[in-house]
Structure 1
Amino acid sequence: MVDFHSHVLFDVDDGSENLEMSMKMIEQSISEGVRILALTPHHIKGLFEEAMENKESYEEKFQFLKKKYEDRIELVKSVELMIREDLLEELQTGKTFGYGGSKTVLVELNLIDVPTYAEGLFYKMMKEGYQVILAHPERNKALREDPELIYHLHDLGVLFQLNAGSLLGQFGEKVTKFSKELIKVNLIHAIGSDGHKDKVRDMRIKHAYEEMRSLNPEAYERLLVNSEKLIRGEAVEVLPYKPWTESVKVRVKKKKKKSFLALLGF
């Protein structure tokens, strides 16, 4: 298993508080059966900037943990990037980076809406060779209320990472229901624990892989093939998405070129 999203790196954000906690979290990942674990501290301007403002410290902590566990689990460095208009510039100038220094990047939205500039930004990022993986889309209120937005983002090339805790009801019943629907319609391409601590919001992830296998065996098999490629920055082929269920009563359009072009100023 691959865990695409964690806050194991200590003393940089709201995740692990110290080395001891980081080690407990990694041990939990190993016990869950994780082979590759991404360390993705927050990068949020004005809130969590330590990881990227002090890259030497990030690298020292990462290399210590990587060496300590190299025979038991592979650690990959990355960052969870809060969406912002100058995100592409930050990546291109080396202020931040993707998985293992690749062009595959983990981007998060706030929990309420989708910025009007998001589509244009993602389009430009894709054009420059970046692969955007959107972190926990199921937690975003606007996407839950209008799944059509999810389809549209995917049409732009965006892939989606599910939080394992969302399937446990960690963020409420609506999030759990939406998560399962995303799996059923082939719109989950990566899974992450989003583990923040060793006890609360921990590193459990195995159940999410098992539930995905139960809900959509074909998507599960494709995810197993693609996970290691994605985290190494390689291109992947994903399954075509399916229509949203009738019970949700949302009519999905595969293309929304007008709104997209409008955002680009055409």
Structure 2
Amino acid sequence: MIDLHSHLLPGCDDGAADLEMALTMARRAVDDGVRVMACTPHILPGLYSNDATGIEARVASLRQALGEADIDLTLVVGADVHIAPDLPKKLGDGTIPTLNGSRYFLLEPPHQVLPPQLENLIASLIGAGFVPIMTHPERLAWTRTHYDVVDRINAAGCLIQITAGSLTGCFGRTAQYLADRMLDDGRVDIIASDAHNLRARAPGLSKAREIVAARHGRELAEDLVIQKPMRILRDLPVAPHLASSRAAKFPTSQPAGEIRPFSRLFEWIRSA
């Protein structure tokens, strides 16, 4: 399996606290059947000031440590990117890394309240040639009352990633309900661990994969943890699950170099 969302890199965000924990998390992931893991630390202005250069160096160091510990896990570079006013620019100049150098990147919206210009931001990013992967919408406080936003974003080309632990009940009943509903509605494109530690946020995809296989069939389960993640890392086209049967509700392309302003969105986040 391929895990596209993890906080495995030690000491750079709220994930693995040190190298010992990172190695133990890696072993647990391998024991669970994961063979490739994206290292995706938070990039959040004012709190986690990670960038592509620093993440690449940390990944190289952890790769060496995995080899010395005889842990058969392939690491790729990425980031868990929060909204910022210069996000399109920093993606364009490579300051913020995409997943394995592809057009795809993880985008984490604010948890508590729906940003008022989120759909415009996503349209701008897609128009600039990037494909956002919205992380764990089932765990966002605003999703239940704005479920239609997830539908429109997905239809417009933004991929949707849910957390494996949401399907198994680790994040409570609401997250589990929304994860199940998104699967039933065909809105889920990727399942990832979002692993942070060895306790409540541990690595592992197999339990969630089996839940999906039992309810929706083995083909979909493998697609969410193997086939689509593999295509993303190879920078191949990946259509949202329901893209062929849904019309986008807002434009997904713009003239080159034209980015819709969303500075007010960032100001709103900082003042919230």
Class of the TM-score when normalised by the shorter of the 2 chains: 0.7 to 0.9
Asked if 1:104 corresponds to 2:101, the answer is no
* Cα distance in 2 for residues equivalent to 1:209 and 1:175: 17
* Cα distance in 1 for residues equivalent to 2:179 and 2:78: 24
Q: Runs of 4+ in structure 1 displaced over 3 angstroms?
A: 50-57, 65-71, 253-258
Q: Any unmatched runs of 5+ in structure 1?
A: 244-252
Asked if 1:186 corresponds to 2:189, the answer is no
Judge conservation of contact 1:88–1:121 (CA < 8 Å) in 2: no
Which runs of structure 2 are paired with 1:139-158 in the superposition (5 Å)?
A: 139-158=139-158
**Residues 219/127 of structure 1: CA separation in 2 closer, same or farther (3 Å cut):** same
Amino acid at match of 1:194: D
**Residues 70/155 of structure 1: CA separation in 2 closer, same or farther (3 Å cut):** farther
Instruction: Using structure 1 for the length normalisation, give the TM-score.
Output: 0.85
C-alpha displacement of 1:68 = 4.4
Amino acid at match of 2:215: L
Percent identity, aligned pairs only, is 26
- What SS is found at the alignment partner of 2:81? strand
| Other-structure match for 1:220 | 221
Judge conservation of contact 1:183–1:219 (CA < 8 Å) in 2: no
Judge conservation of contact 1:185–1:241 (CA < 8 Å) in 2: no
Deviations 1:218-238 (A, max 9, x none): 532433422211133221244
Deviations 1:127-156 (A, max 9, x none): 222111111111112222221111110122
Judge conservation of contact 1:10–1:16 (CA < 8 Å) in 2: yes
CA RMSD of aligned residues (A): 2.8
Instruction: Using structure 2 for the length normalisation, give the TM-score.
Output: 0.83
Q: Any unmatched runs of 5+ in structure 2?
A: 262-272
**Residues 202/71 of structure 1: CA separation in 2 closer, same or farther (3 Å cut):** closer
* Cα distance in 1 for residues equivalent to 2:82 and 2:40: 12
Which runs of structure 2 are paired with 1:2-151 in the superposition (5 Å)?
A: 2-50=2-50, 52=52, 54-55=54-55, 57-65=57-65, 67-68=67-68, 72-151=72-151
* Cα distance in 2 for residues equivalent to 1:179 and 1:196: 20
* Cα distance in 1 for residues equivalent to 2:227 and 2:199: 30
* Cα distance in 2 for residues equivalent to 1:33 and 1:56: 24
